[in-house]
Chains A and B, each alone.
Chain A
């Protein structure tokens, strides 16, 4: 039942992807664009809803499998839905649904001569199909095919506004990064095939691999999947691709696609460790990678002035937090600490679900801001809360959730992670205790910086006075335009209040996958965490109810009194204008004084040196140094090397024949000597 519904969902994606090619091939007109938009929406809606039914109808830990003839001489078409797959499929179908609706609403007004909506929806549907296959494939050949579909589709989605050279550049950066990761994955799968002699994922369980080959497989998987997940230093495609892509695509990429990288790491590690405990250094390596990624992501995000770029770096940070959870779980498993293992793993998965929800919300809201004002540069925005109060409220919910403020969902995930790291004090070795407590401190710092970051994002975009004409002349929009966003905002709140349910969901989903039950303290940890989260949820419900009650009382009391609205600081200085407000640079300036080198901020200042200065200029930029200083020289070096080979490719045909002759003679001599 589950499997047939899931297959129907995938089939619907594929069928509508085929259907939508018809308007894509037609001559661009208003009708064909409308048809493509409609077909894309219907395809995504029907597929995603069927998929969600498949996920919700049966318990999360149950397993369903499907096998079909593949038609290739190797590999098989094997799909299995188990707890982990289901958990990662929730964001795919859920976010796919809302992003499609929001995309439909915003793409309605695109000019058919400028964009081919048919091809856009084709690749959107292919991305969903690829994601569905990646998360359920249990054969390495099928997995690689699906991975390639999933990796190629975003290239065309990011390239939507292909008239802009920066967008084209971003999509190429994405493509190169995706395929550099794919190279590591290919090596991983070839090694896998060589070691196990089979193409089924499960084949590795039956073997006892040597320590070194297990570690090599682990490292290759970490590289290959880490590039997709955006682990530092392989994250450089995220801050390029997300600002360039249409917002509903950014939301889907950030909320669902990069999770596929995390899924790959978890799946590989779970398979490699099912026959015994993982080496301890795996956990420390993943924890360190996650920590560095999270710190780097949040610091770079703080230095950004483009909202979507800021959100992209924030995705890097959140992926780092999830990876920290996984690292903590592995350390717990290798040291036999049940609490750390279960709490770390659940924190990782809970944060994955939460992140999909609030990052989807934030990207879609940023897209609406872009749609209304024409820019996402914070230096030109401001005061939008008065024009679009509903959108502002939704964005505020997203910001509060991602900054880990209770009672929203981000808080629950990071609370569990913090509890996992705090239990490091129960470990035997002092250096382990110290390292985990330091990680805890770093997590606190990251959360604090996230709060600062989103205070900046929300404050600069929605509060204060409009900083430019862009933000001033905003058309009024009713809540009907934003309802998919509001559903996601509601999701953030509900997942926060029902954190205990989400926790037990993640706990059940991994129970079949990972032999954690044998660890000491597992049952106690599970019960105790569940208890804490239930109590926290109850307190939040009470506080929320109390707040609503006070708000209602206030409204009732003020009902008959006249309320006057005055400008801010009306009682004080009256000469205020938009230019004296905080800018994005001034917001991050105090932090940049301490962490400037880490944030990579460039400050250039030019002042009039005259006695009565006329004008001055201050420029604050935060380009990605990794791209300019590491990847740029690396790739241009490779290019120079390849160009050097052109001395052999000179276009003189008779010399080409000489090469052939020399080769043949050489081979003859080699064969006969």
Chain B
């Protein structure tokens, strides 16, 4: 029961992420995804990982993002509206593709390895993250997209976890943490040095 509720909420959170144009709002949804992942882990019975994910994905990473946001000029935190609609449509296409993929991959793989709806959901989250990276032009939304994509990968890995792989997953979490940390610093530096935070304009840096 908890599993299914969490999965539905995750799909919702994905579309909320795609559907909002405010970066502050997106940060909150990222935190929501972290909590949902922790709940899923709790349902699978990984107690250590539950705590770790709750702390890192639910509190620390959104906190870091929030911290970065607070330092940035307020007018740079809203994405253009026309892109938002396009992103939601693309996300739906991603969901459809993931369901189609799940059907094509056949019953063997899906039933033996993944609980029902797990594979399409993981893939959808992954696609939504990538769509965020592609579709949004602010540097900070790229970090959020990266986090969402990582959540998707984490979801796909979850059913494969056994007790022995806990340390492996913890190491992955640390990796993500460091990556976001570095990106946060980079964004701070960029916003200090350049007037714009649009990744579109980064190309003027190429040789």
> What are the residues of chain A within 8 A of B137 when measuring CB–CB?
654
- Chain A interface size band reads 10 to 19
A619 at the interface (CB under 8 A from B): no
Q: What mask results when residues 110 to 149 of chain B are scored 1 for a CB within 8 Å of chain A, else 0?
A: 0000000000000000010010011111000010000000
The reply to whether B199 and A661 contact each other, CB–CB distance below 8 Å, is: no
Inter-chain CA distance A652–B199, complex, in Å, is 7
Q: What mask results when residues 644 to 673 of chain A are scored 1 for a CB within 8 Å of chain B, else 0?
A: 000000111111011001000100100011
The reply to whether B133 and A652 contact each other, CB–CB distance below 8 Å, is: no
Within 8 A of A (CB), among B158-207: 199-200, 202-204, 206
- Known contacts A651-B203, A651-B206, A653-B202, A661 near B130 by CB under 8 Å: yes
> What are the residues of chain A within 8 A of B200 when measuring CB–CB?
652
> What are the residues of chain A within 8 A of B142 when measuring CB–CB?
654
The reply to whether A658 and B134 contact each other, CB–CB distance below 8 Å, is: yes
From B105, B134, B204, A655 is in contact (CB under 8 Å) with B134
The reply to whether A652 and B203 contact each other, CB–CB distance below 8 Å, is: yes
Q: What mask results when residues 622 to 654 of chain A are scored 1 for a CB within 8 Å of chain B, else 0?
A: 000000000000000000000000000011111
B104 at the interface (CB under 8 A from A): yes
From A651, A654, A668, A673, B133 is in contact (CB under 8 Å) with A654
In the assembled complex, 5 residue pairs joining A and B whose CB atoms fall closer than 8 Å, in A order, are A652-B200, A654-B134, A658-B134, A661-B127, A672-B105
Inter-chain CA distance A665–B96, complex, in Å, is 13
The reply to whether B101 and A654 contact each other, CB–CB distance below 8 Å, is: no
B97 at the interface (CB under 8 A from A): yes
From A655, A657, A672, B130 is in contact (CB under 8 Å) with A657
Tell me, rounded to whole Å, the shortest Cβ–Cβ distance linking B133 to chain A: 5
From B104, B130, B203, A650 is in contact (CB under 8 Å) with B203
The reply to whether A657 and B133 contact each other, CB–CB distance below 8 Å, is: yes
Tell me, rounded to whole Å, the shortest Cβ–Cβ distance linking A518 to chain B: 65
- Known contacts A661-B130, A661-B134, A672-B105, A654 near B97 by CB under 8 Å: no
- Chain B interface size band reads 10 to 19
The list of the 9 closest CB pairs from A to B, nearest first, reads A651-B203, A672-B104, A651-B206, A658-B134, A654-B134, A661-B130, A657-B133, A657-B134, A652-B203
Inter-chain CA distance A495–B200, complex, in Å, is 73
Inter-chain CA distance A672–B137, complex, in Å, is 33
The reply to whether B105 and A653 contact each other, CB–CB distance below 8 Å, is: no
Tell me, rounded to whole Å, the shortest Cβ–Cβ distance linking A528 to chain B: 70
> What are the residues of chain A within 8 A of B130 when measuring CB–CB?
657, 661
> What are the residues of chain B within 8 A of A655 when measuring CB–CB?
134
The reply to whether A653 and B101 contact each other, CB–CB distance below 8 Å, is: no
- Known contacts A654-B134, A655-B134, A672 near B202 by CB under 8 Å: no
> What are the residues of chain B within 8 A of A654 when measuring CB–CB?
133-137, 142, 199
> What are the residues of chain A within 8 A of B127 when measuring CB–CB?
661
Q: What mask results when residues 88 to 105 of chain A are scored 1 for a CB within 8 Å of chain B, else 0?
A: 000000000000000000
Q: What mask results when residues 93 to 112 of chain B are scored 1 for a CB within 8 Å of chain A, else 0?
A: 00001000100110000000
> What are the residues of chain A within 8 A of B105 when measuring CB–CB?
672
- Known contacts A651-B206, A652-B200, A672 near B133 by CB under 8 Å: no
Inter-chain CA distance A657–B129, complex, in Å, is 11
Closest to B135 in A: A654
Tell me, rounded to whole Å, the shortest Cβ–Cβ distance linking A660 to chain B: 8
Closest to A651 in B: B203
Most chain A CB inside 10 Å of its own CB: which residue of B130, B202, B204? B130
Inter-chain CA distance A661–B91, complex, in Å, is 13
The reply to whether A665 and B134 contact each other, CB–CB distance below 8 Å, is: no
The reply to whether A668 and B101 contact each other, CB–CB distance below 8 Å, is: yes
Tell me, rounded to whole Å, the shortest Cβ–Cβ distance linking A458 to chain B: 54
> What are the residues of chain B within 8 A of A653 when measuring CB–CB?
199, 202-203
Inter-chain CA distance A672–B98, complex, in Å, is 13
Inter-chain CA distance A658–B136, complex, in Å, is 12
Q: What mask results when residues 401 to 414 of chain A are scored 1 for a CB within 8 Å of chain B, else 0?
A: 00000000000000
